[in-house]
Structure formats: structure tokens, C-alpha cells
Amino acid sequence: ERIIARDLTPTFGETPLPSISADDINDCVAKAGKRASSASLKAYAALRSIYAYAHANHRRLFPASASPFGDVTRPQGGGKRSDFLAIADLRLTILSCYDIGWPFGAMYRLLILTGLRLREVAEGRWSEIDLEGANWTIPGERMKNGEPHWIALSPPAIAIIKAMPRIDKCDLMFSTNGKTPVSGFSRAKTRLDAAMLKIAKNECKDAGGEPDDVKLPAFVVHDTRRTLARGCQIDGVAPEIIERMLGHVTHTKSGLKGVYQVFEFEGERRAAFKKWGQRIGALTKGGADVVQLRGVAA
């Protein structure tokens, strides 16, 4: 959906598929490639999937012979995506979070620090947070596996949450209207990408390089979970601990035992989250833990 909204819709809008030429598609793909080589391949694949769907469901109106893809050059991708952020890219992401401000800047930073999924953070509740105990306990109905999940909040995560604005009588952590969680994730990711590219180009220019040669690696929000897992592996955290940190473990026991298992290996998980928080803090040492407010509802 993000690829379509970012790369295809601005170019083609409501243009009927039979009216789109091979040159139009090549131009669209090339434009996406200016951002990153992998972006051109994704745009190509998304548009080709749309054409394939049209052929499969509307053969009489749109036969395969009507496809212009025979004259479209398949772009070269940037290779297999790493599925995690390298240290330099992780630093760039965090710095960009300060630039895009509230609410998504704080949200992305919490995603990095907690290893939670996008919706699990975006739809977070103040009632789930225990700042004094440094705990975030998410009920099963908000988790992918349907089971409650516990996160040990590191000092940087606590600092972010403490600095976040809170709308009176609203339990939602990320809301601008006090009624619903924030939305517009595709636009927010586009802003984050733009901020990252701007910072990277400025740093390249300051170092005497060629800013126009700077390209960002492929990056999806879910990569923050894999990045935390990899960082913990480097720190020597046992795989079974990392699995529990990510909420991958399914508990089969019921009753008190089942509830207790949510907090299995509490000491080890808390230590791992703390170490990860220290790693993240060191990347942007000297940056203030503040939340920039932009149009927050009173």
C-alpha cells in the first residue's frame, strides 16, 4: 500500500490501465530508482501485480496481449535486503526521529527500544504502563499471538514516555484527537525517509563528499524488531530470551502458571533491554530526550 501511494498513484492517478504505455512505466520505475535501487524494483513488482490481477479477473476487457510489460525493462534490485538496520543506519533513523517530531518520532524510537510491532506501540495505552516499576504489560487482545506480553522499559524508553504529552481523560498514548490512535503510517514513513536522506546528505557534504551520490538502504518499520534481536545476539543474549522479548513464545499452561509465564526470565530480559537501551543511547549521545510537539490536541 505504501509503495502504491508513494510511487504509483502520483504518476498514474486514475489513468485506465490500457492507456498506460511502456514508456510511462519505465519513467515511473526510473523515478522511484532515484531514491534507492530497491525502490525501483518494488515499484515495478507492484505495478506488474496490478496488471496480473487485471488480466486474471477481467480477461475479456483486458487480455494479456494488452499489457505493455513486454517493452518494460525489469530494474536491477539492490540485492537481498538485510532485514535489520546497520549501526550507521540505525543512528540516522534515531536522529531523524527528532526531526519529524511528535507523534511519530517518539513512536519510532519506542519501536527501536522495545522490539514491539507498529500497531502494538501505536495503539498503546497509558494504563498498560508502570513507570515506577519500568514495565509495559500489553493485554492479549492487542498482541499478534493473542497472549499478554511484558516489556521491561529501559531508561531511554522511560525518558521518552515521560516526555510525551497526555490528553486529559484519554488512555491512548499516541493520539492527536483524544478519541482514536494516530494513523497515516505511510506518510509518516515517507517523512522519516526524507529526514534520513536529508541528514545523510548534509553529513556527506560536511565530510567533503558528493551528496547526490547518497542513497538510503531499503528499510521497513518491522526491521526494528530484527535489529533489536540482532543487537541482543551480539551482546550474547540467549535465543530463548530474545524470543520472549519479541513475544514469539506461546504459553500453553493456564491459570496462575500461565500468567506467571508472561514474566519468565524477568531478570535476563530486563538486563537485555537495559543493555540495548545503552547501545541506542550511545549512538546519539548528547541528544536530549525530548518530544517535539506539532499540533497536539489539548
Is the pLDDT at 26 greater than 70? The verdict is yes
Nearest-angstrom CA–CA distance, 71 and 61? 21
DSSP helix/strand/coil, 135: strand
Q: Which residues pair with 172 in a beta bridge?
A: 125
pLDDT recorded at residue 108: 96
For the whole model, what pTM was predicted?
Answer: 0.69
Nearest-angstrom CA–CA distance, 138 and 120? 8
pLDDT recorded at residue 57: 85
C-alpha grid cell for residue 112? 527501536
pLDDT recorded at residue 181: 93
For the chain, the residue count is: 298
- pLDDT, tens only, 233-249: 999 999 999 999 999 87
Nearest-angstrom CA–CA distance, 33 and 40? 4
Other beta carbons within 10 Å of 112: 27
- pLDDT, tens only, 115-153: 999 999 999 999 999 999 999 999 999 998 888 999 999
Nearest-angstrom CA–CA distance, 13 and 21? 14
- pLDDT, tens only, 34-92: 776 678 888 888 998 888 888 888 878 877 777 788 788 788 655 555 577 888 889 99
Nearest-angstrom CA–CA distance, 244 and 9? 40
